Amino acid sequence: MFEPQILCFLCKWCTSSAADAAGTSRLHHAPNNINMRVMCSSRVDPQHILYAFKEGADGVFLGGCHPGDCHYVEGNYKTLRRITLFKAMLQDLGIDPKRLRLEWISAAEGKKYAVTMDEFTEQIRALGPLHLNEKALVQEVVKDE
Amino acid sequence: MTAKAKTKEKRIGLFVCHCGVNIASVVDVEKVARVLKDYPGVTFSADYVYMCSDPGQQMIIDTIKEKHLDGIIVAACSPTLHEKTFQEAARLAGLNPYQIEIANIREQDSWVHTDKEKATKKAVKIVKSHVAKARLNENLEPIKVDVTRRALVIGGGVSGLQAALDIADHGYEVIVVEKNPSIGGKMIQLSETFPTLDCSQCILTPKMVEVSRHPRIKLLTYHEVDAISGFVGNFKVRIKKKPRYVDETLCNLCGECEKVCPQIAPDEFNEGLSFRKAIYMPFPQAIPGTYTLDAEHCLGLNPVRCGKCKDVCDKKAIDYDMKETIVEEEVGAVVVATGYDLYTMQALGEYGGEKYDDVVNGLEFERILSASGPTGGEVRRPSDGKVPKSIVFVQCSGSRDTEKHLPYCSKICCMYTAKHAMMYRHKVPDGQATVFYIDVRTGGKSFDEFYMRTVEEDKVLYIRGKVSKVFKEGDKLIVWGVDTLTGKKVEIEADMVVLAMAMVKADGVQDLLKKLKIATDIHGFLAEAHPKLRPVESLNAGFYLAGCAHGPKDIPETVAQASAAAAKVGGLFAQKELIHEPTTVPVNDELCSGCAICVTMCPYTARSMDPDRGVVAVNEILCEGCGACAAACPSGAAQQRNTTDDQIFSMLRAMLRE
């Protein structure tokens, strides 16, 4: 069975805390995700997401605080605007926008986090591997670095 | 990348924690330590049963010293638990605390997975990503700035006065700015206060005197804040001194000027229910004790046209040539206590507030009840001075009306209406008091007992329902309403109607708040930094909130909030210097194109365009390190300290490249 690689950017205040809460409550979920904790979802530049796809992520997840609850007032709104635009670009780049998911998960929603991880893993599994890291052009770029 | 390769490779130590069996039962911790041993940058790698225990921490301290480590990763529980613990251990070993990385392999790995092989593989990836980041971490020092130990309080009502007194009693200087000629705010206009019926003036005037005599409080009445610049601990304030045309140091309150003044104007203190002269004292206990000449109603500040007041003033206190001047002050913190106003009766046309003299709002009725009011405390109606034999009180006038007016509860109206009705019944024993209400909300110490007294002892009639219309018939006001408990229409003949108007943001306060750059909620009340945990602070560092500027509240709550704000200011001033997290987002001048996109991203006004250099300047003491600007910067000039784009890219490589 195809095991997708999922890269998650989680905001420190809400979604990463939700991931911790899922742990504290032992809410088991698919192990395909690897989390990167950022201060705010708005720290995530679309370039980071693109880079994650290029490096072999089959899906990218972005988690922030619910609208109105952002620790930095309005970072999540900035994220929402960026991601909405960026999804349109992903389509043009030949990457299914469904491979990128943005969710608001509060620190109290450990259950939602665990369920979302399972759901997203299944969704990406159904889409199949992206294989972006094996494509010729990308190999070139990687070599340069 | 080549430049980086030349720099000396870091010596990174990895410490993998078993957490008893919490991690070790699912993640093969020995394997994680073993696999990482040869990973680029890693000099030392080990596992231990409890990293956070004393021997565990000692192991970290000893290893840092022995192996000359300049970065460490602790693969253990969530950083929210022990990041500080390990930072402290590192500091004891002489390592910069910002060189510590916590790899979360418990909450986000061992506790949520059961497949040992997959969980171990995941742990390896998580740890690798932190090694990648640690290789590029820099030593950081907390940002330190000096504090000006002096506070500005905007507003001289009960909240501002309480805050000022408390700050001054903490031992710090305070400047109180009040736009009106006297301090006292709205509270000084009230008659009695619920639920104890103390006379408002009796309890507030001593406080006003205390403020005016306090050696550490500077009182600036008839002044307005014009501009503010700087940041927490270091504000510069421009304050506009409005011309009073009377030298307050010379005026001896003889009152001769008032007697000769030919011009009259509505008396603000009495809510326009009586008149004052153009040269006036707002009320007898006003502080500072001085007359003020109201230029708007004066015949023209011109001895040729009138000049009567100037002629009779023995003290030569009157000066028609006074001009607006600017005062500049430096302060470290600002308490915003700008108060409230009442929702305009015009908005409720169906209740006739603007049409009929005998339909008054709550504050006007306070003046009618007050011993210092236009009727000397006798209840008489404004139109003809008759004693009203029937008064209808309408609660929630404008409040709790999501469709037409304001959705929120104004909180104090239930209590003051009960007080109004009770006071009226005490003063006019044969009068009928009727209250229309939606709910009676009496949450507060001794509040419900007070309300029950109004109903049971003072026989005030409470009708649950709203009023649809108030209109005049002869010299009576007819009130149409509905009793929702019986489902019947109600018609009441009244001599007076008192509308418990909703509380709204203070008139004209938006301009001031714009200057202060502090956030408000959708109703224009000040927004707190956190609704539960930081209720007296603004999101903008150095600003504190007190009183009804933040939302409707009663006097005890206002005073409590003012004292809390003062305590916060005291806490700020007690620090030797302000310490701020250094994980901010500076600007690389060489790369910055001056597009200023990052300026628009910052919710803290930490970034601004430097017009001279054509690049963005950052005030790092205001930067909270969210990184929204870093993500928006198109040239890579904005890089967050220890979370640079290079670090994020390296982490992604480490996580994803097999």
What tens digit of pLDDT does each residue of A41-52 get? 999 999 999 999
The average pLDDT across B284-305 equals 92
Do A40 and B626 lie within an 8 Å CB cutoff?
A: yes
The average pLDDT across B70-96 equals 95
Asked if B150-240+330-339+506-573 and B341-503 have one fold, the answer is yes
Q: Is the dihedral of CA A72, A78, A84, A87 positive or negative?
A: negative
Domain B150-240+330-339+506-573 sits in CATH 3.40.50.10160: no
Instruction: Tell me the pLDDT band of B469, cut-offs 50, 70 and 90.
Output: very high
Do B80 and A20 lie within an 8 Å CB cutoff?
A: yes
Q: Indicate the helix (H) or strand (E) that contains B620.
A: none
Instruction: Tell me the pLDDT band of A137, cut-offs 50, 70 and 90.
Output: low
DSSP bridge pairs for B481 = B467, B490
Please give the CATH number for the structural domain made up of B243-323. Answer: 3.30.70
Q: What is the reported pLDDT for B2?
A: 43
Would you say residue B4 has pLDDT above 60?
no
Q: What is the reported pLDDT for A56?
A: 92
**pLDDT above 70 coverage of chain B, percent:** 99
The two three-digit tokens of residue B303, written as one number: 């001895």
DSSP bridge pairs for B145 = B578
Window 45-104 of A: residues touching B by CB (8 A cutoff) are 45, 47-48, 51-52, 55-57, 71-75, 78, 82
Do A24 and B118 lie within an 8 Å CB cutoff?
A: no
Would you say residue B658 has pLDDT above 90?
no
Instruction: Tell me the pLDDT band of A140, cut-offs 50, 70 and 90.
Output: low
Distance from CA of A127 to the nearest CA of B (A): 18
Long-range contacts of A136-144 (CB under 8 A, 24+ apart): A138/A54, A141/A54, A142/A54
The average pLDDT across A119-137 equals 84
Residue of B626, B641, B648, B653 best to disrupt the A interface, most CBs of A under 10 A: B626
Q: What is the reported pLDDT for B533?
A: 82
Q: Give the C-alpha separation, A64 to A102, whole Å.
A: 8
pLDDT in tens, B357-370: 999 999 999 999 99
Among B79, B113, B603, the residue with its CB nearest the CB of A31 is B113
**A38-70 burial: b if 16+ Cβ within 10 Å, else e:** bbbbbbbbbebbbbbbbbbbbbbbbbbbeeebb
Do B626 and A52 lie within an 8 Å CB cutoff?
A: no
Whether the CB of B111 is below 8 Å from some CB of chain A: the reply is yes
Among B118, B539, B625, the residue with its CB nearest the CB of A31 is B118
Whether the CB of A7 is below 8 Å from some CB of chain B: the reply is yes
The average pLDDT across B449-459 equals 97
Instruction: Tell me the pLDDT band of A141, cut-offs 50, 70 and 90.
Output: low
CB atoms within 10 A of CB B35: 17
Q: Indicate the helix (H) or strand (E) that contains A92.
A: helix A75-92
Do A114 and B112 lie within an 8 Å CB cutoff?
A: yes
The two three-digit tokens of residue A50, written as one number: 């693109």
A26 vs B contacts (CB less than 8 Å): 111-112
Q: What is the reported pLDDT for B546?
A: 97
Cβ-contact A46, B129 below 8 angstroms: no
Q: What does the CA dihedral B452, B453, B456, B457 come to, rounded to 10 degrees?
A: 180
B-chain residue closest to A46, CA distance = B631
Would you say residue B3 has pLDDT above 50?
no
Q: Which residues contact B99 (CB under 8 A, 6 or more apart)?
A: B70, B71, B72, B90, B134, B137, B139
Instruction: Tell me the pLDDT band of A74, cut-offs 50, 70 and 90.
Output: confident
Q: What is the reported pLDDT for B1?
A: 41
Q: What is the ipTM of this complex?
A: 0.94
Q: What is the reported pLDDT for A73?
A: 80
Long-range contacts of A134-140 (CB under 8 A, 24+ apart): A138/A54
Q: What is the reported pLDDT for B157?
A: 97
Least confident span in A130-134, B433-437, B632-636: A130-134
CB atoms within 10 A of CB B507: 11
- The mean pLDDT of chain B is 95
Q: What is the reported pLDDT for B496?
A: 97
Do B655 and A133 lie within an 8 Å CB cutoff?
A: no
Q: What is the reported pLDDT for B540?
A: 81
pLDDT in tens, B505-522: 999 898 898 888 788 888
Looking at domain B2-142, its CATH class is alpha beta
Q: Give the C-alpha separation, B572 to B621, whole Å.
A: 14
The residue ranges of every structural domain in chain B are 2-142, 150-240+330-339+506-573, 243-323, 341-503
Please give the CATH number for the structural domain made up of B341-503. Answer: 3.50.50.60
B-chain residue closest to A8, CA distance = B652
Q: Which residues contact B66 (CB under 8 A, 6 or more apart)?
A: none
Among A23, A34, A42, the residue with its CB nearest the CB of B126 is A34
| Comparison of pLDDT for A120 and A143, the residue scoring more | A120
Q: For residue B254, what are the CA distances in angstroms to B213, B250, B289, B312, B373?
A: 22, 11, 11, 10, 22
Q: What angle do CA A7, A79, B229 make, to 5 degrees?
A: 130
A23 vs B contacts (CB less than 8 Å): 78, 106-109, 111-112
Do A43 and B519 lie within an 8 Å CB cutoff?
A: no
The average pLDDT across B41-58 equals 96
Q: What is the reported pLDDT for A136?
A: 47
Q: Which residues contact B447 (CB under 8 A, 6 or more apart)?
A: B194, B195, B415
The average pLDDT across A57-77 equals 91
Which backbone phi and psi does B439 adopt, to 5 degrees? -140, 155
